Structure 1
Amino acid sequence: MALPSLLKRCLRFRLLWGLLSGLTTLSTLSFLASGGHEVLLSSSLPYLLDSGGHHPLSAPLLPSSEDFLLQPPPEACSPRPPSLLVLVTSAPEHTAQRQAVRDTWGGVRWAGDYTVRTFFALGLPPEPSRQAALEREAAGHRDIIQGRFLDTYRNLTLKTLALLGWATTHCSGALFLLKADDDVFLNLPALVEHLQRSEGTSPAYLGRIHWRVRPDRDPNSHHHVPASLYPEGVFPPYCSGTAYVLSGDSLAAILGAARHVPMIPVEDVFVGLCARRAGLAPKHLARMAGSAHVPPDPCCYREVMFGVHQVAPAEMVAMWDEAGPREKPCSLVQRALGLLRCKALAWLS
């Protein structure tokens, strides 16, 4: 008799979880949907920036604390915010990827003169049984930001807006924000050296730029963008979503433009559209690999490139252990060839 009772309780739990996931997804989508957004605003953070003749921008599109199921503790960004805030998009089941980042570049607290903090952004697991493990991981590492929406590919734009909104409301004041995927190996010292030269200049939107990309009209594609949502024939230039950098003022500009931009389900395109609306021109960083895969070459990973994509967890740890953080892994010849050599290796692979 105990077994049917247990099965009934399990069934009720799954039904309640499904209802919760559906309601929270609808709630968050209502604040992020295209067109006339029903938004959750923070009037305490007005957006003040000269539009420079472009569209006037509204107050930032910001979530509330209730839109997050898990968050780092308040002291994570206090008493001072980090100079470089790194937000890594991850999936609930990517436990190994997150740990590899923590054990390598994500565990770094200083890069050059910059303080660095790294957090992971994800949504609700499609399988409710994974949530307990996520809560234990969050309690142990205190670096997980979990939005109340299902973690699916089509919700990547939702995830990006949630993490950008969290950065503004809970970790404001960072000089730069770096968004990266959890399979990206970042060379933070080299990147920070570059950012220090950009500090104090105009709002920054930096990464590997995609030019004249046409919308994918195939309804069966992950990247499908119907003409009803975006009728133009090409997208404006935008930075690859694998890794890009926003300065603090450009982050405000992106969120200020977000309510006026159609909810393109391709997140890096959406950020590019927000940047265009805000009058921000992306700046190309040739040393960001974008979607290209560079083979595990210490010289490329640790000295030449700012970021390398498609790095498996074991590979990430091995590359980190092979050359210590303070070592220079390039020979004189390799250093002379520099980026050209790394691009050739990526092409050959």
Structure 2
Amino acid sequence: MFPRVTLLYRLLAVCILVSIIMILLQTADDRVHSKRLPLEVIREQDSYIDIKTAGQPSKPRIASNSSSPNIRMFSGKENLQTTRIPPVNPHNFKYIINPRDTCKSKNLKYIIYVHSAPKNHKKRQMVRQTWGARSVLQKYSMRIVFIMGVVEDISTMERVKYESNSYGDIVVENFLDSYRNLTFKAIAGLKWVSKHCDNATYVIKSDDDILIDMHALMQQMNSTEIKNYGTKNLIMCNQWVRMKVIRDKKSKWYISEKEFPDEYFPPYCSGSVFIMSTDAVQRMYQASLDTTFFWVDDFYLTGLLVKKIGIGHKRLNENYMLNARVAMDKLKEDKKHELRFFHVHKLTQIYRMWSILKERMNSTCKDFLTRSSEGNVTTLT
């Protein structure tokens, strides 16, 4: 049996024992933490694009130790690591509907993506029955999709799902589909083409209230002038020059000086319809990740992003009729057959205009066959 000790000695022994235990626990905890990565180290993800000067090639933007105070490093068996600076406009929306196999075709030449709203079922049907009909798509090696976001009305979204099951041509991301979110829709189109349709040669963007004389457009695309443009770094459109910024607060298109201080926009395209090379679409999507969101989608896409990737607009202004009130009259007056793109409000009018365009195409074919049989034409181009 141990001899008795005083109370003081007992307390001292207990304190020493507790101290020893705390030291051992702290040492073990330090060893465990030394094997962990700092919480600030971000897992490796896709490279993001930093295009600082228009026309400069895109480069991955990776933070360096000298340029950013937010870099986190760790040592040990691992190599030196740095965090990637996140994009300013990441567009990290999820797909609700995604027909990812639409472009799985070896001979695909054109992909058309149409800005639409969930409620615009009749407009999408108009496209499917006129210039976006299956017979037209097959003839010219095309595919088509409709790009949209979501709305709160459950019945509308259920109808969109039913429509998607019937046609397989709808892309839905989970952003709110509204006027001020049109830039999200524009980026969604760029993203979908970049990820799922990079085997196409050309990309046609359109709105769902546009009528396209697809037969005449395809003849134009096969012309020497268009072929000389090549199939890289290309955007063709109705170009706006010195478009005045609207400061009227009552206007739907009002833009404050804080949003955009200049009096005029730099050159950009009408968002109604334009044609791009697929590589330009991919570069524009990458540039959008590093370009601050601006709600005027036409200017954001074909102004800011096009300038950032360093390409110029090819003007097709003479092929556009964007005044919906006189579109029918202008079509009838178009004796030289120069008009390709029409902005039209009424669906019934679009169907009538499409009938005129089909008759025009048929008469052109008949004239060609007649001249060919008479020996005036010897080759088909």
Same fold, TM-score > 0.5, yes or no: yes
Aligned to 2:351: 317
Structure 1 stretch displaced more, 137-146 or 248-257: 248-257
The RMSD of aligned alpha carbons is 3.4
The aligned runs of 1:26-175 (5 Å cut-off) are: 43=46, 54-58=55-59, 67-72=94-99, 74-80=100-106, 82-110=108-136, 114-175=140-201
Corresponding residue for residue 289 of structure 1: 320
Cα separation, 2, equivalents of 1:62 and 1:42: 13
Identical amino acids, percent of aligned pairs: 26
Residue 206 of structure 1 pairs with residue 229 of structure 2: no
Q: Aligned equivalents of 2:158 and 2:269: distance in 1?
A: 35
Task: Name 1:276's counterpart in structure 2.
Answer: 307
Contact persistence 1:85–1:117 (CA under 8 A): yes
Matched, 1:308 2:305: no
One-letter amino acid of the structure 1 residue matched with residue 322 of structure 2: S
Does residue 236 of structure 1 match 2:266?
Answer: yes
1:152 deviates by: 0.7
Cα pair 1:154 1:222 within 8 Å, conserved: no
Distance 2:185 2:322 in 1: 19
Check whether the contact 1:302–1:328 (CA below 8 A) recurs between aligned residues. no
Deviates more, 1:126-135 or 1:82-91: 126-135
- Per the TM alignment, residue 232 of structure 1 is displaced from its structure 2 partner at its CA by 2.7
Matched AA of 1:249: D
TM-score for the superposition, normalised by structure 1: 0.72
Shift in Å, 1:126: 3.8
Aligned to 1:187: 213
Query: 1:255 aligns to what?
Result: 285
Structure 2 SS opposite 1:241: coil
Aligned residue number for residue 31 of structure 1? none
The answer on whether the counterparts of 2:209 and 2:344 sit within 8 Å (CA) in structure 1 is yes
CA contact (8 A) 1:187 1:303 kept: no
Shift of 1:268: 0.7
Bigger CA drift: 281-290 or 94-103?
281-290
Change beyond 3 A, Cα 1:262–1:215 = farther
Query: Are the equivalent residues in 2 in contact too, given 1:298–1:319 (CA < 8 A)?
Result: no
Match of 2:363 in 1: 328
* Aligned residue identity for 1:248: T
User: Per-residue displacement from partner, 1:224-250 (whole Å, max 9, x unpaired)?
Assistant: 333333323321111100111111121
Is the Cα–Cα contact under 8 Å of residues 217 and 226 in structure 1 kept in the other structure? yes
Which residue number in structure 2 is paired with residue 20 of structure 1? Answer: none
5+ residue gaps, structure 2, are: 1-43, 61-86, 368-381
Q: Distance in 1 between matches of 2:46 and 2:335?
A: 43
**What letter corresponds to residue 289 of structure 2 in structure 1?**
R
- Give the Cα–Cα distance (whole angstroms) in 2 for the partners of residues 308 and 42 of structure 1: 43
CA distance in 2, matches of 1:300, 1:119: 30
Query: Is the CA contact 2:202–2:231 (under 8 Å) kept in the aligned structure 1?
Result: no
Change (3 A) 1:288 1:128: farther
How many residues align structurally?
288
- Indicate if the aligned counterparts of 1:112 and 1:192 stay in contact, CA closer than 8 A: no
Secondary structure of 2:204's counterpart equals: strand
How far has the Cα of 1:313 moved from its partner?
1.8
Shift of 1:207: 0.8
Shift in CA distance, 245/323, structure 1 to aligned 2, threshold 3 Å: closer
Counterpart CA distance in 2 for 1:52 and 1:129 is: 47
Amino acid at match of 1:141: Y
SS class of match (2:323) = coil
3-state DSSP of counterpart to 1:263: coil
Unaligned runs of 5+ in 1: 1-40, 333-349
Instruction: Check the 8 A contact 2:306/2:312 in 1, yes or no.
Output: yes
Question: Secondary structure in 2 aligned to 1:304?
Answer: coil
Paired residue type of 1:211: V
> What per-residue deviation string (whole Å, max 9, x for no partner) do you get for residues 248-283 of structure 1?
121123223223433221111111111112111112
**2:19 aligned partner:** none
Letter in 2 for 1:208: N
Q: Secondary structure at the match of 1:76?
A: coil
Q: CA deviation at 1:155?
A: 0.8
Structure 1 residue identity aligned to 2:328: P
